[in-house]
Amino acid sequence: MKTNESNGKKTTFIDLFAGIGGFHFALSKQGAECVYVSEWDNECRKVYEDNFKSTSPDIFKLEPSSSGKASFDQPLFAGDITKVDPKTIPNHDVLCGGFPCQPFSISGKQRGFADTRGTLFFNVLEITKAKQPKVIFLENVKHLKYHDGGRTLKVILQELNNIGYKTSWKILNAKDFGTAQNRERIIIIANKEKEFDFSKLETKESKLIKDILDKNGNFEILDPKDYTIIPKELWKKQESGLIFCGYRNKSIRKAGVRPNTEHLSRVHKQPNRIYYIEGTHPTLPSQETTGRFWIYDGKIVRKLTVDECYKLQGFPKSFKKSKNTTSCYKQIGNSVAIPMIEAVYKQIKEQYNL
Ligand SMILES: C[S@@+](CC[C@H](N)C(=O)[O-])C[C@H]1O[C@@H](n2cnc3c(N)ncnc32)[C@H](O)[C@@H]1O
């Protein structure tokens, strides 16, 4: 197990807004030890426990309650982070978290400073103040950059600066880290001594949808009468790596759409678009609970299976998923692309000597 070179101890991290543990996978694979988790959704908690109890038994120290259900007041496997006293959280080297993005209070703005109280970022900040982790490692949707006219991101960076951290951020795309998914996310890194150099990240050529497909499975296949494949000469690989090749025979957008533009992806609502398997897959969404986008392999049009979605996000075959298919889709759409988080953490270790 890799140890922290400066003090001979293992590098420790906490997993806030942990979901099903994407950060946990990426960091523990590189020798770091998880010492605290917060996640309030019972279905995610169950998956988290099923996957990490054997490797991180200390987080799950308390016995299940007499009702047989997992006890949710375990101090190291917390539920609602807003109910936690930051002082009770163990010391750690790296604070990881993909907190939901919320606008900050207008009243703070009027008083000339940012008021983050009542938001989940405020809790991240309070934990940072109390525990002074060496590195803050945050992941969020790309939209955070534009949220509230750019003010939300500005306030986050400013607040971290105010408590002595230097901040760095960049929009990264999972497809640049060897996955078959076009998934853009903002990564924010903070450290007291120096900024993070994103240019040192090791990128890897994107995979294609065809590389992660299973040969057999319970495929959801679309009837040929319900879709149109556009002529091959009109298929164009977009900058994102997606190849739009057809659409479901549903009504197209009306506003501002010119006649004979059916071959353009943007005139079709996202769930009606069909993508060719020689390209990348669109971002797995968390809201889409009935399955994923349609893909075309030259013969049939179908959706990715649950297993293929987990592969697309870089989860190992051995990962124990929820028994509930709807939860599975929601959880994997909410999760991080593991290879991208791994690549960032590799550089965090390198650049901050962890
Ligand atoms: C975008 S997901 C993060 C997923 C995670 N990074 C992963 O790899 O699976 C945000 C998570 O925060 C959790 N969450 C939201 N509010 C919370 C709170 N107050 N306390 C604890 N968890 C919370 C949600 O249940 C959700 O699972």
pLDDT tens readout for residues 37-61: 999 999 999 999 999 999 998 888 7
Which tokens in the block code for residue 244? 């739009």
* Centroid of ligand 1 to alpha carbon of 79 (angstroms): 10
- % pLDDT > 90, the chain: 72
Using pLDDT thresholds of 50, 70 and 90, give the confidence band for residue 62: low
Q: What are phi and psi of 294, to 5 degrees?
A: -85, 140
Sequence-ordered alpha helix ranges (H) in the chain: 22-28, 42-52, 106-110, 120-131, 151-162, 306-312, 325-334, 338-352
* Centroid of ligand 1 to alpha carbon of 331 (angstroms): 10
Q: What is the mean pLDDT of residues 322-334?
A: 93
Rounded to whole angstroms, the Cα distance separating 289 from 325 reads 8
* DSSP annotation of 136: E
Report the atom number in ligand 1 closest to the C-alpha of 81: 20
279 and 209 Cβ atoms separated by less than 8 Å: yes
The residue type of 351 is Q
* Ligand 1 site-directed mutation target among 283, 320, 334, 344, most atoms within 8 Å of CB: 334
Class of residue 149 by CB neighbours under 10 A (exposed 0-12, middle 13-18, buried 19+): exposed
Sequence-ordered alpha helix ranges (H) in 172-289: none
333 lines ligand 1 (CB under 6 A): no
Which residues, including other chains, have CB under 8 Å from residue 159's CB and lie 6 or more apart? 114, 116, 121, 125
Out of 3.30.830.10, 3.40.50.150, 3.30.70.3280, 3.40.718.10, which CATH number does the structure's domain 12-206+332-352 have? Answer: 3.40.50.150
34 a catalytic residue: no
Coil, helix or strand at residue 229? strand
**Confidence (pLDDT) at 64:** 43
Strands 227-229 and 244-248: antiparallel
Residue closest via CA to ligand 1's atom 19 equals 80
17 lines ligand 1 (CB under 6 A): yes
Could you tell me the sign of the dihedral formed by the alpha carbons of 160, 161, 165, 168, in that order? positive
Q: What is the mean pLDDT of residues 69-84?
A: 74
Coil, helix or strand at residue 173? strand
Task: Report the candidate in 284, 313, 308 with the shortest Cα–Cα distance to residue 297.
Answer: 308
pLDDT tens readout for residues 2-36: 455 556 689 999 999 999 999 999 999 999 999 99
Determine which helix (DSSP H) or strand (DSSP E) holds 115, and give its type and residue range: none
The CA-to-CA distance between both ends of the chain, in Å, stands at: 13
Q: What is the mean pLDDT of residues 207-221?
A: 94
335 lines ligand 1 (CB under 6 A): yes
Tally Cβ neighbours within 10 Å of residue 286. 15
pLDDT tens readout for residues 280-290: 999 998 776 66
Rounded to whole angstroms, the Cα distance separating 242 from 239 reads 7
**Confidence (pLDDT) at 263:** 81
Which of these is catalytic: 96, 101, 245, 328? 101
Q: Where are the domains of the chain?
A: 12-206+332-352, 219-304
CATH topology for the 219-304 domain: DNA Methylase; Chain A, domain 2 (3.90.120)
Rounded to whole angstroms, the Cα distance separating 219 from 283 reads 20
Which residues, including other chains, have CB under 8 Å from residue 122's CB and lie 6 or more apart? 116
